[in-house]
Amino acid sequence: MLKSIKEKFVGLVAAVALIASVASLYACADHSPISADGAVILDVRTPEEFATGHVEGAININYRAGDFEKRVAELDRDTRYVVYCRSGNRSGKSIQIMEKVGFKNLQNAGGVQDAGKRLGLPIVK
């Protein structure tokens, strides 16, 4: 009986983890237009990724760099930021860090291609 309860618990935990993963992917799958007016477009990919193509006008602060939190903390907290990466994962994590240090007006644009389309801006090198 105890084994059965443990098996059910493990199954339940796995199901919850799967649902959370799907939900986070769905949240990043928003394809609605985003206004770039007055926003800073923030690319949180590596400099190497940025060099292969980025949304026109974007600034690059590498999420994987050891000084990421310090660098974003130096930005103006009253500005609106549209954040993107390769897939939407790092941008979501970046937004969490930015919220932790006091940013309020943040939007995850997902991956670079989606960000360009949603913002109506070209991808440039």
Please give the positions annotated as active site. Answer: 85
Span 41-52, average pLDDT: 98
- Strand 39-43 and strand 59-60: the pairing is parallel
Residues 53 and 96 in one domain: yes
Which residue has tokens 């919220």? 99
Asked whether residue 38 falls in the same domain as residue 75, the answer is yes
Under the banding of pLDDT at 50, 70 and 90, the label for residue 31 is confident
Domain boundaries, position 67: 33-124
What are the CA-CA distances from residue 56 to residues 2, 76, 82, 100, 125 (Å)?
59, 20, 13, 27, 9
Residues 53 and 113 in one domain: yes
pTM of this structure: 0.77
> Are residues 107 and 59 located together in one domain of the fold?
yes
Q: Is the domain of 7 the same as that of 41? A: no
Total count of domains within the chain: 2
75 shares its domain with 25 = no
Query: In whole angstroms, how large is the CA radius of gyration of the chain?
Result: 18
> Higher pLDDT residue, 23 or 13?
13
Q: How many Cβ atoms from other residues are within 10 Å of residue 47's Cβ?
A: 11
Confidence of residue 88 (pLDDT cuts 50, 70, 90): very high
Confidence at 17, pLDDT banded by 50, 70, 90: very low
pLDDT at 30: 72
Q: 50 and 12, same structural domain?
A: no
Q: Are residues 42 and 81 in the same domain?
A: yes
pLDDT tens-digit series, residues 47-87:
999 999 999 999 999 999 999 999 999 999 999 999 999 99
Do 25 and 42 fall within a single domain? no
